[in-house]
Amino acid sequence: MKIFPAIDIKDKKCVRLVRGDFDNKTDYRISPVDQARKYKDHGFKNLHIVDLDGALTGETVNLDIIQDITGKFNLKVEVGGGIRNFDSIEKYIDAGAEKVILGSAAIKNKNFLKESCKKFPNKIALGLDAKDGYLSVSGWTEKSNQLTLDYLKEVNDYGVSRLIYTDINRDGMKQSPNFEETLKVAEISNCPVIISGGVSSIDDIKKAKNLENVEGIIVGKAIYDGDIKLEELVKEDA
């Protein structure tokens, strides 16, 4: 089970949102680079970064911070947030990202996802953010009319190398992930799945370990709020 501690960047700071709501955010004093250092010092190998400024603007706003993190620490970084063209994907790969996460742009334009997978083999992760079974787009501000499982069936053979499934209702709520829906996604998916949203305790991690076709889990707010100790969490990281 790969553990992906999370860093969400907004205005050059680490923040956490509740259910993706920009009006319901907590700013943390620590800088993204110092937070990454902390994860590295504890022995984590993977890192999940979301550029929230990028999600709002469609630009690679915090590219310099991500470059700084990949340059200083030997961490496998997956990065997402408003990536809408080949140029942005290329910039993140050149900056040292192991995986680039496509979300809204891939849902709105399946061909963009298909071409990205061809152009950047083994580099594209697909972020599926769902609310009540339907995919959400544009920084979770819009609910699409696409059912998560239907969309996945359509793009399953495109060559995505990783799938990140987030239940928006659980995100930042620390009420445990939606294991039931994640399992439905993992059963269909041709690539390994990462669970995201709602992790509240080490028990959630232990439960995730037993799921078929689940590669890892993202942990965010529970770390920042001190509900999960990094020393305890890193023991589950393999």
The residues that are catalytic are 8, 129
Are 171 and 17 within 8 A, CB to CB? Answer: yes
Round to whole Å and give the CA distance between 114 and 136.
19
Residue pair 44/26 in contact by the 8 Å Cβ criterion:
no
The tokens describing 5, both together, are: 């501690």
| Residue 7 near residue 35, CB atoms below 8 Å | yes
Tell me which residue of 71, 81, 64 sits closest to 15, measured CA to CA. 81
Cβ(114)–Cβ(127) under 8 Å? no
Task: Please name the residue ranges forming H helices in 73-193.
Answer: 86-94, 104-108, 110-119, 148-155, 179-188
